[in-house]
């Protein structure tokens, strides 16, 4: 720092400012090149000198970076600090992204807890199968809207973690049973097939809390991603015979339930 005219007027070289701010000289040079943080002064020999105002702006940049903003976004926000509009819009967008990340972390936390509970249970299942099922559940969650996910989170809190974990375990077991019926050529009105169909309906209704849109999303997801889901549910098994015929069989199973 330097003092001029007998009055303390802090000035930092680029190296001193980097040390004060806990950053690298290269980063400060980059900010200068972008016009994001240009030194207010230069010495006669051309060396950068940063003022307190520059330091304050640097702290603003660091704060906005910590919020996840890009350098371009920060430049737009700081271009006119008297107008809160750009900052409001950027922060609103980042808040939405943070909400998304929080939801995904909570979903992963719940699923990981369920995985641990099964691995530590009295009968330890195959870990590869559990990991595959965890992946399938996560992929389905990503196909829901934010409102649907919030609704399911509230529902999961209502039924409790144990019930939700049982659902995460049960739906792939039911799907594997349906494949077994299909491959055996069991008639859809067979009592055992009807019991499996009722079980599937029960799992879906419980998971979606009866929400028709979520149930439709589930159906569309399985039709679009059926081969990948079945690969997880039936690891190591051939899947060439499980095409549209399986989904037609599933539709006829549902239809067989309708008179009841």
pLDDT tens per residue across all 260 residues of the chain: 554 444 567 899 999 999 988 999 999 999 999 999 999 999 999 999 999 999 999 999 998 888 888 899 899 888 877 778 878 887 888 788 788 778 777 766 766 776 676 667 665 555 555 544 444 455 456 667 778 877 877 887 787 877 777 777 787 788 889 999 999 999 999 999 999 999 888 888 888 888 888 888 777 777 777 777 777 677 778 888 887 788 889 888 888 886 54
CB 233 within 8 A of CB 172: yes
Residues pairing with 42 in the sheet: 48
**So where are the chain's domains?**
14-83, 94-257
Give the helix/strand (H/E) hosting 161. helix 161-184
- For residue 7, the model assigns a pLDDT of 52
- For residue 136, the model assigns a pLDDT of 45
CATH number of 14-83: 1.10.1660.10
The model carries a pTM of 0.49
Angstrom distance (rounded) from CA 113 to CA 117: 6
Per residue in 16-26, is it b (16+ CB within 10 Å) or e — as a string? bbbeebeeeee
Angstrom distance (rounded) from CA 8 to CA 21: 20
CA angle 67, 71, 72 (to 5 degrees): 115
- For residue 122, the model assigns a pLDDT of 66
- For residue 29, the model assigns a pLDDT of 95
Angstrom distance (rounded) from CA 202 to CA 11: 71
Q: Look up residue 44 and give its DSSP letter.
A: T
């Amino acid at each position: 720092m330097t003092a001029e005219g007998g009055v303390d007027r802090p000035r930092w070289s680029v190296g001193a400012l980097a040390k004060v701010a806990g950053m690298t000289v290269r980063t400060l040079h980059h900010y200068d090149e972008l016009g994001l943080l240009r030194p207010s002064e230069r010495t006669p020999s051309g060396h950068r000198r940063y003022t307190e105002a520059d330091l304050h702006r640097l702290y603003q940049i660091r704060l906005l970076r910590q919020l996840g903003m890009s350098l371009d976004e920060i430049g737009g926000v700081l271009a006119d600090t008297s107008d809160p509009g750009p900052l409001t819009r950027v922060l609103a967008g980042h808040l939405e992204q943070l909400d998304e990340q929080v939801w995904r972390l909570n979903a992963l936390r719940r699923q990981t807890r369920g995985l641990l509970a099964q691995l530590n249970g009295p009968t330890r299942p195959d870990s590869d199968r559990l990991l595959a099922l965890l992946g399938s559940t996560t992929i389905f969650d990503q196909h829901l809207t934010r409102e649907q996910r919030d609704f399911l989170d509230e529902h999961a809190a209502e039924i409790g973690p144990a019930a939700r974990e049982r659902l995460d375990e049960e739906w792939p077991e039911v799907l594997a049973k349906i494949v077994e019926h299909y491959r055996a050529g069991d008639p859809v009105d067979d009592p055992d097939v009807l019991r499996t169909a009722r079980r599937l309906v029960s799992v879906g209704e419980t998971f979606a809390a009866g929400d028709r849109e979520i149930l439709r999303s589930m159906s569309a997801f399985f039709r679009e991603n059926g081969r990948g889901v079945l690969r997880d549910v039936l690891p190591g098994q051939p899947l060439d015979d499980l095409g549209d015929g399986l989904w037609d069989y599933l539709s006829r199973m549902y239809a067989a339930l309708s008179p009841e």
